[in-house]
Amino acid sequence: MQTIRTPLFKVFMPPTVKSSIEETLFSGFLAEGEKVAEFTQLVSQFIHNPQVVMMNSCTMALTIAYQLSGVGPGDEVITTPLTSIATNMPILQLGGKPVWADVDPRTGQSDPSDIEKLITQKTKAIVALHKEGDPAYLDEIHAVAKKYDIRVIEDAAHAFGAKYKGTRIGTHSDFVCFSFQAIKHITTGDGGALCCKSENDYLRARKMKWFGVERENRGTGNIWENDIQDRGYKGNMNDIAAAIGIAQMKHIDEIIEKFNRNGLAYSESLMGTAGITILERNPENFSTFWGYCVLADHKHNLEKKLREQGVAAHQIHPRNDVYSIFKESKRKLPQVDYFCQKELSLPCGWWVDDEERERICSIIQSGW
Ligand SMILES: Cc1ncc(COP(=O)(O)O)c(C=O)c1O
């Protein structure tokens, strides 16, 4: 078994987290409180959206976004199979049906022209996935959504800090969902955020993440005497997770900068390499390059060669549409077929220094 010297993911954890978390651990209060409020504030300021609700995962944020979009039994959501199962499982949980859009083979992003063909009376939402931190075709997706009056939900699990045409991801759509799970750019152990455009959605989401009840009103009488109007969840973030997040946020700019710098440098070095196709990326956007995705001929041979040299590289998310639970959604997806055959991601994060990145490029350039 070859030792992996450069993993595809690595958890960033600043030493300052120790004091941040220790204070919380012995404070006598661990549930959702002041630390969650502080972390929420930091995230709100960073993405320039005052309507942010912290959750215990991005999956929870997506679930509530679907529910607020009206997804229920028999409804459809246009989404991509080229993602984590977490994007699509909540649609099924609500009784809805994922409808797979094919992808643009140049980018792996959902193809807006295919999305439009899939709209029906039952469509309640379109998912815009920022694949590995590369912003989705937001303008085109919004144009379709506006035409048919449908909600847009961004799965921004890989895109905390990314920018679409100069504006940070977090405010463009009805809902934007971030993940602070262990291997994301910043982590709270597990955690997520739901960012809302409308005040009404925001106020409902605040309640839905905790059984449909406004936690902020604790201490102002018996909160359980108020009516509960939405099916809610035990989906809130706690102060321990938020304390980790607060320590992480101090480093957000430098972390994201490192991912981005590595991604751009990979593109420059690997451009023109035989057997490698570089994805097209809009230079107006800022990608967070959660992984550096390329299309490689005979990718399994290249994966093996890289592994022999201590480098982990593979397709991060196998396509979702092959699982039995999604059999009702089966559809021909020629561009997804093409993309999956070649899709391979290279380590791109803060733990990859210039020397290691150049070594990885040389291994690839020497052929496989
Ligand atoms: C694209 C995508 N969406 C959603 C999620 C779910 O995130 P979480 O683990 O915070 O629920 C992930 C997790 O890796 C993901 O990659």
Which pLDDT tens digits describe the chain residue by residue (368 residues)? Answer: 679 999 999 999 999 999 999 999 999 999 999 999 999 999 999 999 999 999 999 999 999 999 999 999 999 999 999 999 999 999 999 999 999 999 999 999 999 999 999 999 999 999 999 999 999 999 999 999 999 999 999 999 999 999 999 999 999 999 999 999 999 999 999 999 999 999 999 999 999 999 999 988 777 788 888 899 999 999 999 999 999 999 999 999 999 999 999 999 999 999 999 999 999 999 999 999 999 999 999 999 999 999 999 999 999 999 999 999 999 999 999 999 999 999 999 999 999 999 999 999 999 999 99
Q: Which of 131, 184, 207, 258 is catalytic?
A: 184
Nearest ligand 1 atom to the CA of 155 is 3
If you take atom 7 of ligand 1, which residue's CA is the nearest one? Answer: 58
**Three state DSSP letters for the chain:** CCCCCECCCCCCCCCCHHHHHHHHHCCCCCCCCHHHHHHHHHHHHHHCCCCEEEECCHHHHHHHHHHHCCCCCCCEEEECCCCCHHHHHHHHHCCCEEEECCECCCCCCECHHHHHHCCCCCEEEEEEECHHHCCCCHHHHHHHHHHHCCEEEEECCCCCCCEECCEECCCCCCEEEEECCCCCCCCCCCCEEEEECCHHHHHHHHHHCECCCCHHHCCCCCHHHCCCCCCCCECECCHHHHHHHHHHHCCHHHHHHHHHHHHHHHHHHHCCCCCEEECCCCCCCECCCCCEEEEECCHHHHHHHHHHCCECCECCCCCCCCCHHHHHHCCCCHHHHHHHHHEEEECCCCCCCHHHHHHHHHHHHCCC
Q: Is the CB of 157 under 6 A from ligand 1?
A: yes
Report helix angle 299-308 to 354-365, nearest 10. 130
If you take atom 9 of ligand 1, which residue's CA is the nearest one? Answer: 181
- Reference 13, options 273, 218, 253, 187; nearest CA is 187
Between vectors from CA 58 to CA 56 and to CA 61, what angle results, nearest 5°? 85
Nearest ligand 1 atom to the CA of 60 is 11
Residue 191 is encoded by which pair of tokens?
A: 């955690």
Going along the chain from its start, the domains and CATH numbers come out as 17-249 (3.40.640.10), 252-365 (3.90.1150.10)
Q: Which of 84, 153, 233 most suits a substitution to test ligand 1, by most atoms within 8 Å of the C-beta?
A: 84
- The C-alpha atoms of residue 32 and residue 235 are separated, in whole angstroms, by 11
Instruction: Quote the pTM value.
Output: 0.98
The torsion region of residue 212 among left (phi > 0), alpha (psi -120 to 50) and beta comes to left
C-beta pairs of 295-304 under 8 Å, 24+ apart in sequence: 295/339, 295/342, 295/343, 295/344, 296/342, 296/344, 297/342, 298/368, 299/341, 299/342, 299/343, 299/344, 301/368, 302/275, 302/344, 302/364, 302/368, 303/344, 304/368
184 is catalytic: yes
Q: Is the CB of 187 under 6 A from ligand 1?
A: no
Q: Is the CB of 58 under 6 A from ligand 1?
A: yes
Nearest ligand 1 atom to the CA of 191 is 10
Residue 340 is encoded by which pair of tokens?
A: 């999956």
